[in-house]
């Protein structure tokens, strides 16, 4: 199942070089990396001086060299080998879906932006959870404080009445004793 733009679908080719944005070729006269277009990915006709994984996840040139000799010592055509190596299922953790017209550097920038955005979202979720927990703790503390205040108020009120009653009793006893009246 291929996508409309010719790149194999992400589900069926995830982890394969053929659909990875980090697949590049070295320039013939310089060390710069160039995009491997759709035609090169599908046919194995690659320009430049050789295939390269921009993230260095696979030694593509070595794999192609090793695979050019097929069973029974027969040499396999290079394009067939290239297609075979590119379609190999690697389950690559560094894989990034190829977008036609984008260099490997642009794919890396896009991937880093996506990762940064995911980290930001995860950070926001952690902050929201911390805020929620903090709010719940504050509400519990407030409820506990109110309960303690009610208990203290009741306790204080009872002791105030008791202290007042004792004071009046002492006052009456003192007055009776002062005036010579025996209680």
Q: Are 94 and 22 in contact (CB under 8 A)?
A: yes
CA atoms within 13 A on the CB side of 71: 0
On average, the pLDDT of the chain sits at 82
Q: Using alpha carbons, list the distances in angstroms from residue 39 to 18, 42, 44, 79.
A: 11, 5, 8, 12
Across the strands, what pairs with 2?
Answer: 8
Specify the pLDDT at position 183. 60
Tell me which H or E stretch contains 52: strand 51-53
pLDDT of residue 100 exceeding 80, the answer is yes
pTM over 0.85: no
Is the predicted pLDDT of residue 1 greater than 60, yes or no?
no
Per-residue model confidence as pLDDT tens digits over 38-47: 888 888 888 6
Does the pLDDT value for residue 103 go beyond 70?
Answer: yes
Cβ–Cβ under 8 Å, residues 79 and 43: yes
Domain boundaries, the chain: 10-102
Mean pLDDT for the stretch of residues 17-30 = 84
Nearest to 100 by CA among 26, 32, 23: 23
Closest CA to 92 of 2, 42, 23: 23
Per-residue confidence (pLDDT) for residue 182, from 0 to 100: 67
């Amino acid at each position: 199942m291929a996508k409309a733009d010719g790149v194999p679908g992400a589900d069926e080719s995830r982890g394969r070089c053929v659909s990875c944005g980090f697949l590049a070729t070295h320039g013939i006269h310089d060390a710069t990396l160039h995009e491997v277009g759709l035609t090169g990915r599908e046919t194995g006709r690659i320009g430049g001086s050789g295939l390269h994984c921009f993230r260095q996840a696979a030694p593509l040139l070595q794999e192609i060299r090793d695979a050019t000799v097929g069973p029974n010592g027969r040499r396999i055509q290079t394009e067939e080998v290239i297609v075979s190596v590119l379609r190999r299922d690697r389950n690559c953790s560094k894989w990034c879906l190829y977008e036609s017209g984008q260099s490997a550097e642009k794919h890396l920038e896009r991937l880093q932006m996506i990762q940064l955005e995911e980290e930001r979202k995860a950070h926001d979720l952690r902050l929201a959870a911390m805020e929620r927990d903090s709010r719940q703790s504050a509400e519990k503390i407030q409820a506990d404080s109110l309960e303690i205040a009610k208990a203290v108020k009741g306790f204080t009120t009872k002791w105030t009445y008791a202290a007042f009653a004792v004071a009046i009793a002492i006052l009456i006893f003192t007055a009776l004793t002062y005036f010579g009246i025996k209680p």
